[in-house]
Amino acid sequence: MSTPAGVPVRPGKIIAVHVAYESRSAQRGKRPSQPSYFLKATSSLAASGDAIERPVGTSLLAFEGEIAIVIGTAARSVSIDDAWTYVEGVTASNDFGLYDIKAPDKGSNLRSKSRDGYTPLGPNIIPAAEADPQSLRIRTWVNGEVKQDDGTSAEQLIFPLTQIVADLSQHMTLEPGDVILTGTPAGSSVVAPGDTVEVEVTATSASTGSELSSGRLATNVVEGSGEFDPKLGSAPAVTEALQADAWGSREEAGLAPDESATGPLSDDLRAKLTEAPTAGLSAQLRARGLNNVVIEGVSPLVPGSKIVGTAKTLRFVPNREDLFKSHGGGYNAQKRAFDSLKSGEVVVIEARGEPGSGTLGDVLALRAKAQGATGVITDGGVRDSAEVAGILPVFATAKNPAVLGRKHVPWESDVAVACGNATVLPGDVIVGDDDGVIVIPSSLVEEVVDAALAKEIEDGWVAEQVAAGNPIESLFPPKGEWKEKFDAWKASQ
């Protein structure tokens, strides 16, 4: 198996960055605060011109054009300022992934991205001494059509290439020949047998001003044999969420939108609920025998916030170390819940009124917003509260910097939950404002909101009469003569 000059056939490590580009972050609705990584097997390395197999029975083979850093000198605990001096050079790479088998990996990407041939690299190395790490360009073509075109400026990368090298070096020794795949920009999508994917990295020579190129890294996609034995481990499985991620969007995947632009509530109904105060809605629910529909103890991070939507429920159980070990890491119930949100939904979190740790932070808030969620209700704490407050409406009991595992284990979603002493079922209608948050059974929402708005009109007329100096006896609510006056006024409107 041929490889670029200066890169061993079996480098000691291939390290990949999850998300590093602003464009990819915007596309995915996930903007990490620190870089995160995963390992790829060195046996996945391939050269330009090699073929990549998509196994029979799978359909979600996705390309990810990336800039690959090749380490030249052993680096341990180096600074950002010095990091580039430890780099031999950069070249083109393609971080292929098979999304059909991604879910069981829970973020490690071991099976989905470490298959033979899934890390093409090369064909040439651009010397690091000649390349400004903030002035590189990466482009990816599929069958001759440009699909990715991005760069490494401060405006384009979340984490500078030098930061990635320095950060990794504080955790391990980066050895000569090690390869770092530095993340993919927006535009990654699915390819099929018969397609050809090309990736090129270019830079302007620091000494001559001429363009330097890695050359085009070409990979041909072919049909592979079926090789998954479900008796041995996980078999391929496709969900709509995986399809959307692999293709880049539900639209690109050919999937119908999750809901209309406003979600399961009609435009008219959503507008009525937005206009109606929770105090009025609560009174109408009480008139129908429902007294325990207030989510107690929560308040908006930003006063004046309004939330209207249908409930997407998430339940945490009290932390127990063995259970957090089995359920807290990887692609846990919390992450799955936020990834499966539909437009117009509100995340309702059961955290047992425990304020001693955060139940979401800025990354999950970004994901919720990208999915079209209208807000989050939690009877626990919120991390990154200032950032979260600027992303979408959130009602919580407290602000707390601690991570989830201090008090909670993410357990399950889409079940009945107890949030702020109120039972919430998936699909219940949630309305929140400065007075609090209430839960409306979906079967009652139309009549409740219509009655609440009618009462608002009456209360507004009563307030005008009281402001004019009239006593409240027989006026609040209108009775007798006052009722006749109100009815006459209403008929005239």
Q: Is residue 213 in a domain?
A: yes
Binding-site residues for Mg(2+): 384
pTM of the model: 0.56
Q: Is residue 7 in a domain?
A: no
| CA 302 – CA 386 distance, rounded (Å) | 9
Task: Report the SS3 class of residue 40.
Answer: strand
Written as tens digits, the pLDDT of the chain (493 aa) is 345 555 655 689 999 999 999 888 877 766 788 899 999 999 999 999 999 999 998 999 999 999 999 999 999 999 999 999 999 999 999 999 999 888 877 778 998 999 999 999 999 999 999 999 999 999 999 999 999 999 999 888 999 999 999 999 999 999 999 999 999 999 999 999 999 999 999 998 888 888 999 999 999 999 998 778 878 887 888 888 888 888 988 888 888 765 433 346 888 999 999 999 999 999 999 999 999 999 999 999 999 999 999 999 999 999 999 999 888 887 888 998 998 899 999 999 999 999 999 999 999 999 999 999 999 999 999 999 999 999 999 999 999 999 888 999 999 999 999 999 999 999 999 999 999 999 999 889 999 999 999 888 888 887 888 898 888 888 778 788 887 877 787 778 7
Distances (CA, A) of 43 to 14, 114, 228: 10, 7, 19
Give me the residues paired with residue 46 across strands: 120
pLDDT at 459: 80
Binding-site residues for substrate: 361-364, 383
The vertex-359 CA angle with 356 and 362, nearest 5°, equals: 120
Q: Is residue 2 in a domain?
A: no
Task: Report the SS3 class of residue 157.
Answer: strand
Residues 294 and 432 grouped into a single domain: yes
- Residue 401: CATH number of its domain: 3.50.30.40
| CA 267 – CA 438 distance, rounded (Å) | 20
Distances (CA, A) of 281 to 275, 425, 449: 11, 18, 6
Q: Is residue 222 in a domain?
A: yes
Residues 176 and 107 grouped into a single domain: yes
Give me the residues paired with residue 126 across strands: 90
Backbone angles phi, psi at 114, to 5 degrees: -110, 15
pLDDT at 248: 87
Residues 191 and 340 grouped into a single domain: no
| CA 63 – CA 67 distance, rounded (Å) | 13
Residue that is last in its domain, among 420, 443, 466: 443
Q: For residue 216, what are the domain limits?
A: 14-247
Q: Is residue 5 in a domain?
A: no
Q: Classify the phi-psi angles of 416: left when phi > 0, otherwise alpha if psi is within -120 to 50, otherwise beta.
A: beta
Residues 426 and 458 grouped into a single domain: no
pLDDT at 2: 46
pLDDT at 299: 95
pLDDT at 106: 73
Whether 14 contacts 118, CB under 8 Å: no
As to burial, measured by CB atoms within 10 angstroms (0-12 exposed, 13-18 middle, 19+ buried), residue 143 is exposed
Residues 58 and 207 grouped into a single domain: yes
Binding-site residues: 361-364, 383-384
The total of structural domains in the chain comes to 3
Residues 122 and 133 grouped into a single domain: yes
Residues 301 and 191 grouped into a single domain: no
Whether 392 contacts 368, CB under 8 Å: yes
pLDDT at 262: 39
